[in-house]
Structure 1
């Protein structure tokens, strides 16, 4: 029987890679490039001007039509830094509730420790402000449910910092998946590996938990909420914006015996309703594989990073050929039949060198997400990374922590009304 060939040209034509142009299509996140007028400028207050908040503040300073109009932080050095980065001529607060009373604020950006997110989000919406909340969305599953309810109740614009949703690289990859370039998605693997202790220097021991909040359970969900939510969201997106139905995992404090309470390594497996599994790992003692996602299909694989992606082709065994092979074995007729490998030895990794996806990116995905948020505030459109996207990624991270703590399978919470 002749073996069906599947050439690189066929694959590239099917994947649409031969015509990938300078810019990826952002679908529903498409942005207006016209410079907003002064009257259309969106004002935003930054709640939390630590490392993340200050980083985003500097990006906001470069976005036309989005202006920082207030800063807030309980730690004076962070507040002073944020005020300086914002130009020094705006109100500065140590109590975010006072900031919410500022009449000329259209919106707030929340970049505080995780345990504060939900209360701040709800208070902001109740005060009539639109909200950009850094991921993970909330510290607990019940808080996530409550935030969703308040978004529906107040009809405020609410966006979560799942920034890959605004990356041209990821949009191009998702388009290829939808078009069948890698066949049916059958498995996903993702990892975020670092070689560092995740600890910040503190000027005084009394500030340890305030500045290293990520390491303590009363403030943080650890690696799963701080890192894993990004990549869980990619898996949810690749599978059609669904969420997992269960999770099992194991974690430990095995590398850094420094008093931390959150795991310094995690390995979890999610099961989705369609049977697809996501295997996720995060470690803090080796960075060789860095951060990436591998979306594996029946006819190829897409490997993604924040800067570029690569598509690999695969020639699957045809069902008819396999049936013929089984038929031959049953009749002791040992003839050559193409079954995908040359021998019965374990298969070598795919030798295909792949095709790069490298769309032009004049701005970072962080810039694009904040620019898009401002446009949603103006137009009242729902953000691409809306509250349900944040809920699905954040809750998935939280049930992983529960699964590791309990050493058992944890099911998705029964919040059907949020779907």
Structure 2
């Protein structure tokens, strides 16, 4: 990168403070924080100390107009992601947006249309796409090293409560204004990963269960994916059912593949087994390093606004299926 990209930050919550800020503060040759927006005016002095020299705002609409800002980092409560992204694009800024980019397909379409109109880019901060295991898995699947893809089983259960570094106590999660519940927050990572590995499903069947009044409509969602090839997949997600034995199995006509920590284990139909070491690493840091390269004109963006929209399309079908108790097409 020749010149530093000058950033304005909207949303100084936990994900910014715990994840993005420490990384960007270590990347001062690539990024410079020129402005920030905080809803609570009383917190301005604190953030002026932590981000010295950055202009302070309490209205993101004013901040995105700041001529010293090249790009806006959107780390707001997820139901605000789209409106801030649209305002930044309209102001002629590139956007680094936390997932999900939007919670409705029509709004995702508006964002993509605004990208075209302005010539600016939305870089969705989806760190799962920067896991070093992913290209290895893609090579096995696309190269048919274990034959044709038949099915997958993916389980991600954990307990989202006050012990989760404060995430489970945030009011926008406890009094959510977005569909389904936590699958639209933490679970959207998994949808992005599944779409990248297997492509878009053509229809879904899903059931949802609720065990508590807060934290969204459903605490557990079990979904079956149907693909155009005839392959299927089962995805079980919960932010209520604590489990340390989550798993990911992928089955093929000539064997199977499963993820075991930083290893990928291949089991061949003839009985042979092999392990591939794939260090997991810091996916957030890897993401920002790669985004810096892409912004400077090197490399291809692995997760585009279209990919982000596809995640919304899948989750929209999940919601339709739960509500109708029928298979729903992915539109």
- TM-score normalised over the length of structure 2: 0.88
Name the Cα RMSD after superposition: 2.8
Match of 1:321 in 2: none
> Is 1:379 paired with 2:311?
no
What is aligned with 2:56?
92
CA offset digits 1:381-405 (Å, max 9, x no partner): 7521111111112321232123223
The equivalent position to 1:52 in structure 2, one of 3, 12, 15, is 15
Aligned to 2:143: 179
Whether 1:68 aligns to 2:33 is yes
Asked whether 1:120 is paired with 2:40, we answer no
**Correspondent of 2:220 among 262, 265, 270:** 265
Rg bigger for which structure?
A: 1
Seen in structure 2, the aligned counterparts of structure 1 residues 51 and 157 have a Cα distance that, compared at 3 Å, is same
**CA shift for structure 1 position 250:** 1.0
- Which of 123, 128, 131 does residue 95 from structure 2 map onto? 131
Q: Give the strand-richer structure, 1 or 2.
A: 2
Shift of 1:81: 5.6
Residue from 230, 240, 250 that aligns with 1:275: 230
SS of aligned partner of 1:181: coil
Q: Choose the corresponding residue for 2:245, options 282, 289, 292.
A: 289
Residue of structure 1 equivalent to 2:278: 358
How many residues are matched?
Answer: 327
Q: How far did residue 299 of structure 1 move?
A: 2.2
1: CA distance, partners of 2:165 / 2:264: 38
Quick check: 2:157–2:242 contact (8 Å CA) kept in 1?
A: yes
* Structure 2 counterpart of 1:190: 154
Q: Does 1:151 align with 2:105?
A: no
Deviations 1:58-92 (A, max 9, x none): 11111231222222221457666654443x32112
1:218 aligns with 2:177: yes
Per the normalisation by structure 1, the TM-score is 0.71
Residues 192, 227 of structure 1: 8 Å contact kept: no
Shift of 1:48: 0.8
**Structure 1 residues 287 and 403: CA distance shift in structure 2, 3 A:** same
Match of 1:303 in 2: 258
Instruction: Tell me the secondary structure at the aligned position of residue 150 of structure 2.
Output: strand
Deviation at 1:152, TM superposition (A): 2.2
Q: State the alpha-carbon separation in 2 of the partners of residues 148 and 195 from structure 1.
A: 34
Please list the CA deviations of residues 21-64 of structure 1 after superposition, one character each: whole Å capped at 9, or x if unmatched. xxxxxxxxxxxxxxx45xx2111222111111222111111123
1:228 aligns to 2:187 (yes or no)? yes
Deviations 1:297-349 (A, max 9, x none): 222333237x6231222216xxxxxxxxxxxxxxxxxxxxxxxxxxxxxxxxx
Runs of 4+ residues over 4 Å off in structure 1: 76-84, 198-202, 351-354
For 2:206, the equivalent position in structure 1 comes to: 249
CA gap of 1:78–1:234, structure 2 versus 1, over 3 A, is: farther
How many angstroms apart in 1 are the aligned matches of 2:172 and 2:255?
A: 41
Q: Is the 8 A contact 2:127 2:284 kept in 1?
A: yes
SS in 1 for 2:269: coil
How many angstroms apart in 1 are the aligned matches of 2:296 and 2:190? Answer: 29
CA distance in 1, matches of 2:187, 2:88: 26
Counterpart CA distance in 1 for 2:24 and 2:289 is 8
Q: How far 1:108 sits from its partner (Å)? A: 1.1
Q: Cα distance, 1:161 vs. partner?
A: 2.0
Greater RCO (Cα-Cα under 8 Å, separation 6 or more):
1
